[in-house]
């Protein structure tokens, strides 16, 4: 989901809770710590 889409999603839904995870960043960190994953 693009950042612009996140804003639209938030505006269109009544949310009690929202958790966003940047999977690209998570993948980069995992590959850095565990090179065999690359």
**What is the rounded radius of gyration, in angstroms, for the C-alpha atoms of the chain?**
14
Give the span between the Cα atoms of 3 and 35, in whole angstroms.
29
pLDDT on residue 38: 83
pLDDT on residue 17: 86
pLDDT on residue 33: 96
pLDDT on residue 9: 86
In order along the chain (38 residues), what is the average pLDDT of each group of 10 residues? 82 85 91 92
Residues in the chain: 38
pLDDT on residue 11: 83
pLDDT on residue 18: 84
């Amino acid at each position: 989901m693009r950042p612009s889409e996140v804003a639209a999603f938030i505006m269109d839904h009544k949310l009690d809770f929202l958790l966003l995870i940047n999977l690209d960043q998570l993948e980069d960190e995992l590959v850095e710590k565990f090179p065999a994953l690359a």
